[in-house]
Amino acid sequence: MEMTYYEAKSLPVTDGEDEPEIFAEVTRLCEQDNWRMASDRLEYLAARAGKPELEWRIEAFRCSIADGLGDKKQAAVHLRNMLKAGRGVIPFNQQRSFYSDFLFLQHYNEEKTDEQRRREAFAYGDFEKGLRPYVHDRSKHEMHERLRLGFIASSFGDSVVTNFSIQLLCGLDKRRYQVFCYACRREEDATSAFIRERVEGWWQPQAGEAYAPEHLARRIYEDGIDILFDLAGHTAGGLGLQAAAYRPAPVQLSGIGYMSTTGMGRMDYFLGDPYCDPPGSEEDFSERLLRLPHSHLCYTPTELAFQEKRERLPHKGIVFGSFNQFGKINGRVLACWAEILRRVPGSRLLLKYMLKNAQEQRAIQRRLREAGLPMERVILENSSKQYMGRYNAVDIALDTFPYTGGGTTCDALYMGVPVVSLYGRRHGTRFGYSLLMNTGLGELEAATEAEYVEKAVALAGDAGLLSALHREIPDMFRKSPVMDAAAYLRDMQAAFEHIWREWLAGHRGELHGSYQDICLRHYEK
């Protein structure tokens, strides 16, 4: 799932004014996106540096260069090496951010076992040790006339996370709830302004002010927040989690913007649904799973989407498409796509993604050729704000795996394009499954790679079914739980009330009674 776009600038290219002069040229080349020359210069310096205290900085540059070239898996290797080499040297908050980056990058790695993922994620809980949590007085919280809900995110500007949470931020019953928004990064646009006018509390760093998690935690505590909802998880350096580690609210919940456990002992719940989190998923989380009855998120299209017409453009041959960022497209995905193109004569593949530079494009083209894709049938396009209209040129969208699409899948369905998706067993591998099941399109889901190929090929060969799906999907999706804001808000409000009663009764972190039972029974149906 693509809940927040991962930017290379969140990786540790430089350490500001303290960066040794020896790396000045490497820094300049990185800033120019000249990754190949930066790599050559770095390795030249690394061979001659001979100083152990510089090793973590060298690994930091290697990490950024790998990410700049689109190799997320190798970037994660260098990030881990950097953390090991910088132990006792890198400041505490930076260590936390870098480890969050590491956990996020692991979602691109299809070779990790579930046990490895759990162990690495749960290790993040060690950062809580030594941080004194706030203590909360039930009697003070019971005095609140309305339940105070705090939402913390990297920012509340235009993003896929905001598309999934804007109904929650702006649509809750104001007679019962007060909404406070806390942005870890200063970002102002039309979307954040829209939200700011509709909530009762707003905080973001002042211009030129450095983010300090302990200061944000103090602000949340002083605002008397009852339930704190982290929307970002380990994306963008996990800044919100750093504040939540102080437990500034008595009840803390994470979800929507991140696809796995936070690994924190002080995060009480993780928001899920029966499709992303079937029975048995509990072992993957340090938190208690809080399953909504249908979808754990609510999709609201961007303003630009409303300006696009759903009009399937005439063309020859089947056009498959993927608008996911290329880091999600691993060797197994490419092998499936190559087989699909082989079995559907005359078909083409449209890939539209955030392209950083020409070097990355060449690296991507090389990977496609090595995977056996016929390059004369592949269309590569850079992402743009007006990307929604390009879905009109796509017959069938192909989801990535195991890191599936989220916003891109919703965008495709909104524009009437059927999506073939492969699901796994973990929360983050089942976003497509949840979205398609909630829309009534479960037949487009595949349990194996062979089935994924078969379903794509079969759909491509059924012109009548394909035309019917393009005609019917927009209405099916609009009427689904994924876009039913009123029902979603009712489910979320019921969940808030339930976990709040649990805390007042002294059962923090546990779910009792009918709410969770209803969700599990829904899955069994």
pLDDT in tens, 398-408: 999 999 999 99
* Rounded Cα–Cα distance for residues 289 and 261 (Å): 10
Point out the least confidently predicted range of 44-58, 92-106, 163-177, 475-489: 44-58
Asked whether the predicted pLDDT for residue 53 surpasses 70, the reply is: yes
Q: What is the pLDDT of residue 19?
A: 53
Mean pLDDT confidence for 118-122: 96
Enumerate long-range contacts of 456-459, CB under 8 Å, 24 or more apart.
Answer: 456/320, 456/340, 456/344, 456/396, 456/398, 456/420, 457/340, 457/343, 457/344, 459/396, 459/418, 459/420
- List of E strands, 276-400: 288-291, 319-322, 348-353, 378-382, 396-398
pLDDT for residue 188 is more than 70: yes
CA distance 326 to 74: 14
* Per-residue pLDDT tens digits for 234-290: 999 999 999 999 999 999 999 999 999 999 999 999 999 999 999 999 999 999 999
Question: What is d(CA 20, CA 56) in angstroms, rounded to the nearest whole number?
Answer: 12
Distance from C-alpha of 179 to C-alpha of 201, rounded to nearest angstrom? 6
397 has pLDDT over 90: yes
**Three-state SS string across 266-302, please?**
CCCEEEECCCCCCCCHHHHCCCEEEECCCCCCCCCCC
What are phi and psi for residue 243, nearest 5 degrees? -75, -40
- Give the angle 117-237-160 at the CA atoms, nearest 5°: 90
CA 5 from centroid of its chain's CA atoms: 7
- Name the nearest CA neighbour of 196 among 174, 217, 166: 166
Could you give the CA distance from residue 437 to residue 374 in angstroms, rounded to a whole number? 33
pLDDT class of 49 with cuts at 50, 70, 90 = confident
Q: Residue 284 has which token pair?
A: 């993957």
Rounded to whole angstroms, the Cα distance separating 155 from 204 reads: 8
Q: Say if residue 319's pLDDT is above 90.
A: yes
Residue 130: exposure state from Cβ atoms within 10 A (0-12, 13-18, ≥19): exposed
**Residue-level pLDDT at 364:** 86
What is the per-residue pLDDT for 356? 67
Number of residues that this document lists for the chain: 525
**β-pair type (177-183, 227-230):** unpaired
What Rg, from alpha-carbon coordinates, does the chain have?
23
CA 115 and chain centroid, separation: 21
Q: How far apart are CA 471 and CA 468, in angstroms?
A: 5
* pTM metric for this prediction: 0.90
Q: What is the pLDDT of residue 88?
A: 85
CA dist 147 and 434 (Å) reads 30
**What separation in angstroms does the CA of 221 have from each of 149, 330, 497?**
12, 43, 20
Burial 236-245 (b: 16+ CB within 10 A, else e): bbbbbbbbbb
Looking at the chain, the whole-number percentage of residues with pLDDT higher than 70 is 92
Q: Residues 355-371, buried b or exposed e (16+ Cβ, 10 A)?
A: bbbebbbebbeebbeeb
Confidence of residue 525 (pLDDT cuts 50, 70, 90): very low
pLDDT on residue 326: 87
Residue 304 has pLDDT above 90, yes or no: no
- Cα-flanking dihedrals φ and ψ of residue 155, to 5°? -160, 170
The strand pairing partners of 348, in sequence order, are 319
Average pLDDT of the residues in 189-193: 94
Contact between 123 and 96 (Cβ < 8 Å): no
Q: What confidence score (pLDDT) does residue 334 get?
A: 97
Q: How many angstroms separate the CA atoms of 295 and 149, rounded? A: 20
Q: What's the confidence (pLDDT) of residue 20?
A: 64
Tell me which residue of 205, 200, 290 sits closest to 254, measured CA to CA.
290
Is the bond preceding 205 in cis, omega lying within 30 degrees of 0? no
